[in-house]
């Protein structure tokens, strides 16, 4: 290989990318606004949920229940009547509607078991699932304290000390931020190299390269380092500016060690992008292949759900995918502060998978140029 040829061909790829405003906009969006919105738009904890209350009892107990729903978990309750309850929920204005029946306090003090109706808009799945438990706990606590005429913490036979390591505030956005950076790296590295190859074929510049004194491996390596450099720089921006700066997520481990793993990941995914481009040949076909590849990589790699919850066959099969090892490596370094002594098996696996994908793509790329 001629290093000068690889350098010049890579610079050509970068210039070609800069002349594509749509692709540049995609890179900027994927490593900035996409990470921010995906990490903060759907928190796992309940936040500012809308609730309406129908108070047909108008008693001290019902007033205590109404006053217990406060920010930041709930918005101040809207006091409505029974005719408004279904209408407002149909219009999507309230996620929860609580109906306190008449004589609720009187029946409770008489030793009966009165019922409270709770309506939930289950189309807002994240808030509906979490808020249901919050509301039951709030109502049960207020009723119990009112019936016992005192407020006190229960006496437990065991002193349970809770220590939440790596994420003391239980903020789901911390996990989401790192996971979305991993997703952007995987997606863009495959798309950029594959699109660059198909763009050259559609513009007829591949034939120009074939008559130049360059080899197939030089052309392929130039695409890998050029597109990999773009994704690597964007990853540094995402970690330093978006994750640490804007989202205020503390990075526990070494960013340089994470970037080393990113480089190995980019070799594998860039090679995969070239392989898919040679299979597709056109942008529509390449897009369909991306759907078949990216979805399993994102869903089954352990980024969205723990790998331990998947069948053993899926766990073992996904060990052949570079994204699985990159997710383990990234979470260990960035969230738990792991060092080289912990993540070296993932680095070794990424290097091996990257080498296999590189030579498979090179063989396919040579047939593609004939």
Residue 155 lies in a domain: no
At CA 330, angle to CA 193 and CA 301, rounded to 5?
Answer: 70
Residue 254 lies in a domain: yes
Residue 164 lies in a domain: no
Residue 131 lies in a domain: yes
Number of domains in the chain: 2
Do 270 and 309 have their domain in common?
yes
Q: Which residue has the tokens 């340089």?
A: 256
Composition of the chain by helix, strand, coil, percent to 5: 65, 5, 30
Do 199 and 291 have their domain in common?
yes
Q: Which of 136, 161, 194 is the last residue of a domain?
A: 136
Task: Output the pLDDT for position 157.
Answer: 67
Residue 145 lies in a domain: no
Do 108 and 180 have their domain in common?
no
Do 128 and 230 have their domain in common?
no
For the entire predicted model, the pTM comes to 0.75
CB 130 within 8 A of CB 44: yes
Q: What is the mean pLDDT of each run of 10 residues along the chain (370 residues)?
A: 85 88 91 86 71 92 91 88 86 88 90 89 77 88 81 60 72 80 92 87 72 83 92 94 88 91 94 90 85 86 79 89 92 88 94 94 83
Do 37 and 58 have their domain in common?
no
Do 240 and 304 have their domain in common?
yes
Residue 286 lies in a domain: yes
Do 271 and 329 have their domain in common?
yes
- The parent domain of residue 66 ranges over 51-136
Task: Output the pLDDT for position 73.
Answer: 85
Do 62 and 116 have their domain in common?
yes
Do 32 and 58 have their domain in common?
no
The 8-class DSSP code of residue 213 comes to S
Task: Output the pLDDT for position 248.
Answer: 85
The 8-class DSSP code of residue 74 comes to B
CATH of the domain at 120: 3.40.1710.10
Do 61 and 129 have their domain in common?
yes
Residue 141 lies in a domain: no
Query: What strand order describes the sheet that includes 117-120?
Result: 78-79, 51-55, 96-100, 117-120
Q: Which of 136, 152, 187 is the last residue of a domain?
A: 136
- Strand ranges, E, within the chain: 51-55, 78-79, 96-100, 117-120
Residue 146 lies in a domain: no
Strand partners, 120: 96
Do 218 and 355 have their domain in common?
yes
Task: Output the pLDDT for position 123.
Answer: 79
Do 112 and 55 have their domain in common?
yes
The backbone torsions φ and ψ at residue 96, rounded to the nearest 5 degrees and listed phi first, read -130, 145
């Amino acid at each position: 290989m001629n290093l000068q040829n690889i350098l010049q061909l890579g610079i050509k790829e970068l210039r070609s990318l800069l002349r594509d405003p749509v692709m540049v906009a995609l890179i900027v969006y994927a490593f900035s606004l996409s990470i921010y919105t995906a990490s903060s738009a759907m928190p796992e904890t309940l936040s500012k949920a809308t609730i309406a209350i129908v108070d047909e009892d108008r008693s001290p107990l019902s007033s205590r229940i109404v006053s217990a729903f406060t920010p930041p978990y709930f918005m101040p309750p809207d006091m409505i009547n029974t005719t408004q309850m279904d209408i407002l929920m149909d219009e999507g204005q309230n996620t929860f509607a609580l109906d306190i029946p008449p004589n609720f306090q009187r029946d409770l003090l008489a030793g009966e078991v009165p019922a409270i109706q709770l309506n939930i808009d289950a189309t807002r799945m994240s808030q509906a699932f979490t808020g249901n438990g919050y509301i039951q706990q709030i109502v049960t606590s207020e009723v119990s304290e009112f019936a016992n005429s005192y407020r006190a913490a229960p006496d437990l036979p065991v002193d349970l000390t809770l220590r939440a390591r790596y994420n003391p505030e239980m903020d789901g956005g911390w996990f989401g931020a790192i996971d979305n950076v991993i997703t952007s790296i995987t997606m863009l590295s495959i798309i950029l190299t594959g699109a660059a190859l198909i763009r050259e074929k559609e513009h007829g510049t591949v034939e120009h390269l074939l008559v130049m004194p360059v080899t197939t491996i030089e052309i392929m390596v130039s695409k890998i380092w050029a597109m990999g450099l773009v994704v690597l720089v964007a990853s540094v921006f995402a970690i330093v500016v978006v994750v640490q700066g804007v989202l205020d997520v503390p990075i526990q481990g070494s960013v340089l060690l994470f970037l080393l793993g990113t480089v190995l990941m980019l070799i594998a995914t860039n090679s995969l992008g070239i392989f898919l481009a040679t299979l597709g040949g056109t942008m529509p076909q390449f897009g369909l292949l991306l759907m078949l590849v990216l979805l399993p990589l994102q869903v089954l790699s352990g980024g969205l759900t723990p790998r331990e919850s998947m069948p053993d066959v899926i766990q073992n099969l996904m060990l052949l995918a570079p994204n699985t090892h990159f997710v383990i490596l990234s979470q260990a370094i960035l969230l738990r502060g792991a060092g080289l002594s912990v993540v070296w098996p993932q680095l070794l696996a990424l290097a091996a998978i990257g080498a296999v994908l590189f030579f498979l793509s090179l063989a396919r790329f040579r047939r593609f140029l004939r």
